[in-house]
Amino acid sequence: MMVAARESAAASAVAFDIGDVRDWSAPGGVDVLVSNATVQWLPDHLELRPRLVEQVRPGGWFAFKVPGNFDEPSHTIRAELAAEPPYAAHAAGAAGAVVVRRRDLPPRPPAPRLQGGRVGDDLLHVLHGEDPVFAWVSCTGARPTLQALPDDLRPTRGGVQAAAARGLPG
């Protein structure tokens, strides 16, 4: 992915680097900082946000997107399944550190430099295909839990479908 990004940006003023965002800084600041599907994987991403905002020069733009669906059945069933024997021995805590539920969020981001921004937009995705919710979360939020399980214990789509049927729209 990085090779393709660098090749597509070869003639532009865009740079792509691999690193830990917790260690990143922009000497002199940046005009635009966008984070999409990156920082939610860090257990301290709420504390990281103000430091990232400080990297943006006055008048610049900061866009920070993290999922807000950890209270939804597509994600809560992961914790339920991980707590059941025999999964618990392998999956306990596999993804718990990165879960931030809406009820735990501060009412406004603790970043005084933000002005005129919007907080908390809900984006809906129309998913297609066979069991599209399972396919989506098994490649994203459920991935750490699924990877923690040995192959013979990974839930089948049918097993997850049965658990999801308790709370997902049909």
Q: What is the mean pLDDT of each run of 10 residues along the chain (170 residues)?
A: 78 78 91 83 79 90 78 76 82 65 59 64 81 79 81 68 53
Note whether 39 and 67 are within 8 A (CB): no
The C-alpha torsion from 29 through 31 and 36 to 42, rounded to 10°, is 20
Q: What is the pTM of this model?
A: 0.61
Distance (Å, whole) CA 19 – CA 36: 15
Does 7 reside within a domain?
A: no
Domain residue limits at 162 = 69-107+124-170
Q: Same structural domain for residues 78 and 160?
A: yes
Q: Same structural domain for residues 134 and 150?
A: yes
Q: Is 76 helix (H, G, I), strand (E, B) or coil?
A: helix
pLDDT the model gives residue 25: 92
pLDDT the model gives residue 31: 92
Cis peptide before 112 (omega within 30 of 0): no
Does 11 reside within a domain?
A: no
pLDDT the model gives residue 170: 46
pLDDT the model gives residue 94: 75
Does 162 reside within a domain?
A: yes
Does 4 reside within a domain?
A: no
pLDDT the model gives residue 28: 93
Residues 6+ apart with CB under 8 A from 163: 77, 80, 81, 155
Q: Same structural domain for residues 128 and 159?
A: yes
Note whether 65 and 36 are within 8 A (CB): yes
Q: Same structural domain for residues 143 and 101?
A: yes
Q: Same structural domain for residues 137 and 153?
A: yes
pLDDT per residue as tens digits for the range 97-131? 555 666 666 655 555 666 666 666 677 788 888 87
